[in-house]
Amino acid sequence: METFGDSHNLGKRVRLNGNVLVKPRSTYFEKLFLNKSSELRNFFRNSNTSLEELDTYYPDLKFTEVNSGICFAETKITKLEESIPSEISKFLCRSIGKNIALMQWFGISDLHCQNMMFFQKNNMTSVCPIDIEVIFSDIFYPSQSYLIGKKNGVAGFKKIEEINYDNPLENFIEIFKSYTETIESLNFLKPKIESLLQEILPKDAVVRAIFRDTQMYINKSNIEKYEESERVQLKRGDVPFYYKSIWEDKYYFISENEGIKSVPFQELNELKKNTKGLPQDFLKYFERKNIVDRLKTTLTIAEIYSYFKPSNTYGKHKCNNIEIDFDSNSISIKGIKIKCKVTKDYLSAS
């Protein structure tokens, strides 16, 4: 049995047995999005919105829980076979747009290239997240979640960065259309989605809280400045791993001798200083009127524009009855003008 990935929680790693992945944690949120029979996928299928077509783009993975428990779950999942495209199709562009919208709206982050998968769906290349550990986080732009952006070198869409684009403007417009349709559908359905999740989410559901970049832990730089719960996990050979309840501001880690242990309040305050975009309490996350509002949508479109580089597109273009106006250093969408510059790294916007 092959093992891979980082060691967490007393030496546990993801294991591969034939075509079955064994993940040493709860995969509840992956199942919501990646299993066709989940309550969320069923809801989308019957929503009478653009989300009805999600089954066309997302896989139907099978999940079997082996061990349960708030922090000791273990799940078997059908392995999804990777398929890197040689060209960017209209189908893939629509899939990219839907992913950006869904990940942004649900606050799903840590979407680097190892956590996104290109795969074959109906003989076409699609894409989806394969690790959904961080959800309801206060991160709203694709570059913040690592989904796009070359600066960090690990973007979720990194594997298609080097593909030559025959029709970059057409690709951008297709991604833009799919993204905006999906965001509008999600905003329209917000009360029903909140009600559904409040009904089905387990009372002991937890998500992952990431306080530092994994590479910092691997390098063990300035380890003496880390908090006690971090040092405990590093000394036993683990990359520190923290759970957060989705219902309240409580964080946990697995201690070797004491099992599940709450992170002390003072230590938690220090850890929180190191990061932004931690998962929010579920009810707090849904308090806002529109989770993704007009300004966030416009800034996201500017990031998409920069990342997929539709060169020679200056001027006005109309898409879904929305006028987009490009010039050499700005983009105007829905009356909001954003100064932006495409660099070799990623978007610089203000």
In the chain, domain spans: 310-349
Q: How far is CA 336 from CA 10, 228, 284, 302, 322, in A?
A: 50, 47, 28, 11, 12
The 8-class DSSP code of residue 324 comes to E
| Residue 252: per-residue pLDDT | 92
Mean per-residue pLDDT pooled into runs of 10, the chain (350 residues): 85 90 91 97 97 96 82 85 91 95 95 94 94 90 84 80 74 87 95 97 92 84 85 92 93 85 90 84 89 80 73 56 63 58 38
| Residue 296: per-residue pLDDT | 82
| Residue 341: per-residue pLDDT | 47
| Residue 339: per-residue pLDDT | 56
The rounded distance, in Å, linking the Cα atoms of 271 and 277 is 13
190-199 contacts: CB < 8 A, separation 24 or more? 190/286, 190/290, 190/291, 192/43, 192/47, 193/43, 194/286, 196/39, 196/40, 196/43, 197/40, 197/282, 198/282, 198/283
| Residue 234: per-residue pLDDT | 92
The rounded distance, in Å, linking the Cα atoms of 128 and 148 is 14
Residue with tokens 């539709």: 310
Q: How many helices (H) and strands (E) does the chain have?
A: 10, 16
Asked whether the beta carbons of 129 and 91 are under 8 A apart, the reply is: no
- Please compute, for residue 289, the number of CA atoms within 13 A of its CA located in the half-sphere on the CB side: 2
Tokens of 52: 């009805």
| Residue 347: per-residue pLDDT | 36
| Residue 307: per-residue pLDDT | 78
Strand 63-67: give its sheet, edge to edge: 2-8, 12-17, 20-23, 74-78, 63-67
Q: Partners of 120 in the beta sheet?
A: 125
The rounded distance, in Å, linking the Cα atoms of 63 and 233 is 29
The rounded distance, in Å, linking the Cα atoms of 308 and 5 is 29
